[in-house]
Amino acid sequence: MINKKCIIRLLRYKNALHRLNNLGFVKVFSDNLADAVGVTASQVRKDFSLFGICGHKRGGYKIEALLEKLNHILGKNEQQKVVIVGSGNIGSALMKYRGFEKEGMKIAACFDIDPAKYDRKEGDIPVLPLEGLRDFVREHNIKIGIIAVPDIAAQQVLDLMLAAGIKGVVNFAPIRLRAASGAVINNVNLVLELETVIYFIINGLEKSIAEIHEEQKS
Amino acid sequence: MINKKCIIRLLRYKNALHRLNNLGFVKVFSDNLADAVGVTASQVRKDFSLFGICGHKRGGYKIEALLEKLNHILGKNEQQKVVIVGSGNIGSALMKYRGFEKEGMKIAACFDIDPAKYDRKEGDIPVLPLEGLRDFVREHNIKIGIIAVPDIAAQQVLDLMLAAGIKGVVNFAPIRLRAASGAVINNVNLVLELETVIYFIINGLEKSIAEIHEEQKS
DNA sequence: CAGTTTTAGTGAAAAAAATCACAAAACAAC
DNA sequence: GTTGTTTTGTGATTTTTTTCACTAAAACTG
C-alpha cells in the first residue's frame, strides 16, 4: 500500500509546507495542501493516515509538527553530497543552480572528459577529469550522481558510477538507463517533457486534461 | 481508457524506435520495445491495441511503419516553435541544448527582464526584453512556452504567457503552477527528482524499486 | 451549554491500470 | 503438409490507486 507514488506526494507536501512555512503560515488544512500539490484533500488525508500522521479535527495540521514528521518519515535531512558527470549545457546549469543547496543537497564536484572544461579555481565547484571519479566518490562517500552527458555516453557513465559505489542516479540523457540491482535510477527526459505538452496542445485536449501528472524514475 | 500515461508511453516508444531506426534495425518485437522503455511486453501490445496499431504475428512490427503510425497518432511532426522565459542557468542551458531540434522543436527566442542578458547577435537565439513577449508570441503564432525563472516570478510569467496566447507550458520553477482552463502545464521539479532518488537510497529501498517511474504534469 | 459548523480519519466502493493467459496467425523445418 | 515454435492481439482477471461517504472530534455561536 505504501508505494512510490505516495512517497513522491509526501516529498511534494514537504516542499509545499516549506513554502507555506516561509510565508509565515502556522497551520494548514488538507485542502490547502491538496491545492498546493495538485491532488484531492482526501488523498492528502489518506496519505497521512497511511503513515500515521494525524492533525486536529477542525484545526488542521500544525505546519511545524507536520514538517518534522515528514522529515522523520522521509529520512532526516543530513546534507547529501552529489556528483555530476558532464559539464555541458545541462551539467553546468545544474552546477550553478541554487535550488539544490536550499534543500540540503550539495554538489561536490563535476567530472568531464574534456580538459577544456576542467576548473579547479577556489570557490567554484571543481570540474575534474573523469578518471578521478572513482577515487573522489569513495573518498567523499558519495551515494548520488547526476548524468548530464550525451545519450551515447550515458550507459558507460552509469557503469562507472555504479562501479565507484554510487547508488542512486538522476539521468538527464535522453535514453532510458536500466538499474543494476541495488541501484535506483531516475530518468528525466527533457525533450519528452516538452513533447508531452505539445501532444496535448496540438490535439486540443486542453479541456480534458488540466494537468499532466506523472513521474518517471527507475 | 486512453489516458495520459498511455500517451506518454507512446511518446517513449516513438523515441526508442527512432534510436533503433538510426541503429539500422528494421523490425522490433514487443519485448524489445518494452525493454527499451521499461515496461512489460504486454503493456506495449495493449497500448498498440488501444490505438489499433497492429504488427505481424511472429514478425513483430516494422519500425518504419510503426513510426509512421505513431507520428500520425501523436500529431505529425510539423516543427513546433517554443519560447523560453528566463535566461538564467536553466533557461540558457535549454537554449543551447541540441536535443530539442533533433525532435523537431525550435526555440524561437528567450525573454528576460535583465537587460544584461539581452542578446540580438545574428546566429544566436535572441534574448529579448520580457515586454516583447506578447507581440512576439502573437506574431510567430507560438503555442508552447518554457518557464525558467525563480519560483517567486513563475506565476506572473505564466499569466503573461497565457495572456499572450500560449497554450502549453513546461515549468521548471520549483512551484506547482495551476493551469487555467484550456491550458496544459507540465511542472518539472528538478530538486524533487533528486530528492526522490535520495529518499530511496537512504532508506535502502533499492531492492524493492528498480525503477522510479512517474511524471507530473499539469 | 445546546446546537451548528468545520475538518480530520478511514473503511468501503469505484475507477484505473497493469498483468495474465491463451487463441490465432505466421513462419520454419523436415 | 504436418508439426513445432514464435509472437501478436485481446478478453478476463488482478492489482493498485483514487475517490466517496460517513463518523467523530473539536471549535465556534449565541
pLDDT digits (tens, 9 = 90+) for B187-203: 999 999 999 999 989 88
* Residue ranges of chain A whose pLDDT lies below 70: 1, 77, 205-218
Over 70: is that where the pLDDT of B205 sits? no
Predicted confidence (pLDDT) per residue in B148-163, tens digit: 999 999 999 999 999 9
Write down the pLDDT at residue B12.
Answer: 96
Provide the CB-side half-sphere exposure for A182 (13 A, CA): 7
Please check whether residue A137 is in contact with residue A162, taking contact to mean a CB–CB distance below 8 angstroms. no
Does any strand D atom come closer than 7 Å to the Cβ of B109?
Answer: no
What residues contact residue A73 under an 8 Å CB cut-off, 6+ apart? A10, A51, A53
Write down the pLDDT at residue A4.
Answer: 85
Cell (9 digits) for A120: 579547479
Write down the pLDDT at residue A210.
Answer: 43
Q: Are A199 and B93 inside 8 Å of each other by CB?
A: no
Q: Strand C nucleotides below 7 A of a protein CB?
A: 5-11, 16-21, 24-27
Q: What are the chain B neighbours of A192 within 8 Å (beta carbons)?
A: 8, 11-12, 15
Cell (9 digits) for B144: 508552447
Over 80: is that where the pLDDT of B212 sits? no
Residue B147 to residue B137: CA distance in whole angstroms: 14
What does R_g of chain A's alpha carbons equal in angstroms? 20
Of A89, A192, A202, the CB nearest to B97: A89
Residue B144 to residue A183: CA distance in whole angstroms: 36
Predicted confidence (pLDDT) per residue in B52-87, tens digit: 999 999 999 999 999 999 999 998 768 999 999 999
Q: Per DSSP, what are the bridge partners of residue B128?
A: B111
Provide the CB-side half-sphere exposure for B140 (13 A, CA): 19
B84 phi, psi to nearest 5 deg:
-110, 140
Residue with cell 497511511: A50
Q: Are A105 and B191 inside 8 Å of each other by CB?
A: yes
Confidence of residue B206 (pLDDT cuts 50, 70, 90): very low
List all residues of chain A from 136 to 175 with a beta carbon under 8 Å from chain B: 143-144, 146, 151, 167-170, 174-175
Name which of A179, A133, A50 is nearest B197 in CA terms.
A179
Cell (9 digits) for B158: 505564466
Note whether B201 contacts A: Cβ–Cβ < 8 A.
yes
Q: Strand D nucleotides below 7 A of a protein CB?
A: 5-11, 16-21, 24-27
Over 90: is that where the pLDDT of B181 sits? no
Please check whether residue A51 is in contact with residue A41, taking contact to mean a CB–CB distance below 8 angstroms. no
The residues close to strand C, meaning Cβ under 7 A, are A 28-31, 41-42, 45-46, 48-49, 53-61; B 1, 3-6, 39-40, 42-43, 45-46, 56-59
